Amino acid sequence: MAHSHPGSSPGLWLVWLLITGAVLMYALAASRRGGWSVWRSASFIGGGALLVVGFSTPVMAWAHADLRGHMAQHLLLGMFAPLLLVLGAPVTLLLGGLPAQAARRLVRVLDSPPARFLTHPVTAMALNIGGMVALYATPLYALSRELPWLHVLVHYHFVAAGCLFAWSIAGPDPAPRRPSLGLRGIVLFAALAIHGVLGKLMYAHGWPQGTPASLEEIRSAAQWMYYGGDLAEMLLLAALLSIWFRRETRLAKGRPASQLTAKQCPR
């Protein structure tokens, strides 16, 4: 039997509190830093708002009762909210507000081999898109309806893997030795292709199996995933192209294209 109503979980209060706290801390840091982009602030706050909606009681209940609701929640938590959060450039804001010594330590962490491996676009795609394949092409989704801890873990994975993938592809934050724009573009198009194929397979074969959802409901959810995922990834592509455009503009003006400024990476 599936676990009890997910929207009644007392743990949701902690999730809402953490999201609200992160948004308030970001807003406070932005207000203290002169000249911080209003658009970046709006993006991060918007991402936080989408997370709150995705974890809200009505959406949690809808996602539990209807596969289409689950897919809508997946798009909110795993694709649209992470993109907005990443475009808010939280690491850049953090670096600008830290003392020089602490900023240097953070940059060293970002430049460590484990961090570079985890934030590499291929690794991020494997965790993000690979996680979707594992969830919908195997009995994992049906199992997550039976095990409350797995159900919670799936949602947290949506958010974390979505943020990691968006940051690895088009994050505006400083990242020492970030892979080239060309490689990031190739990985993004590969993710688009895999995501699209997964949606078509779900529609054709009635994945995920082992759920009480009807074939019509599954096919409708697959369409939500296919078209909603395409929209999110097109927005991610637009963010990547904007980075390329800004870099070309800097180069045309004779300015260095490095993402790490002296202030962001103090010596």
More confident residue, 175 or 256: 175
Q: For the chain, what percent of residues have pLDDT higher than 70?
A: 91
Band the pLDDT of 165: cuts 50, 70, 90. Answer: very high
Question: What is the pLDDT averaged over residues 59-73?
Answer: 95
Residue 174 has a pLDDT of 82
Is 0.95 topped by the overall pTM?
no
Q: What is the pLDDT of residues 32-60, one digit of tens each?
A: 998 999 999 999 999 999 999 999 999 99
Cβ neighbours around 60 below 10 Å, total: 22
Residue range 72-93: mean pLDDT, rounded: 97
What's the half-sphere exposure (Cβ side, CA atoms, 13 Å) at 65?
Answer: 8
Q: With 80 as the cut, is the pLDDT of residue 247 above it?
A: yes
Say how far apart CA 47 and CA 86 lie, in whole Å: 9
Q: What is the pLDDT of residue 262?
A: 40
Model confidence at 266: pLDDT above 70: no
Residues 6+ apart with CB under 8 A from 184: 121, 168, 169, 170, 240
CA gap 208, 210 in Å, rounded: 7
Residue-range domain boundaries for the chain: 6-252
Give the model's confidence band at 63: pLDDT under 50 very low, under 70 low, under 90 confident, else very high: very high
Task: Work out the pLDDT band at 255, boundaries 50, 70, 90.
Answer: low
- The residue type of 165 is F
Query: Average pLDDT in the 56-83 region?
Result: 95
Residue 231 pLDDT level (bands cut at 50, 70, 90): very high
Confidence (pLDDT) at 252: 86
Give the pLDDT of residue 251.
87
Q: How far is CA 64 from the centre of its chain?
A: 21
Q: For residues 189 and 153, what is the distance between their CA atoms, to the nearest angstrom?
A: 27
pLDDT at 202: 97
pLDDT band per the 50, 70, 90 thresholds, residue 189: very high
Burial per residue of 117-133, b for 16 or more beta-carbon CB atoms within 10 angstroms, e otherwise? eebbbebbbbbbbebbb
More confident call, 252 vs 140: 140
pLDDT number for residue 77: 97
pLDDT of residue 12: 84
Pairwise CA distance, residues 185 & 241, whole Å: 9
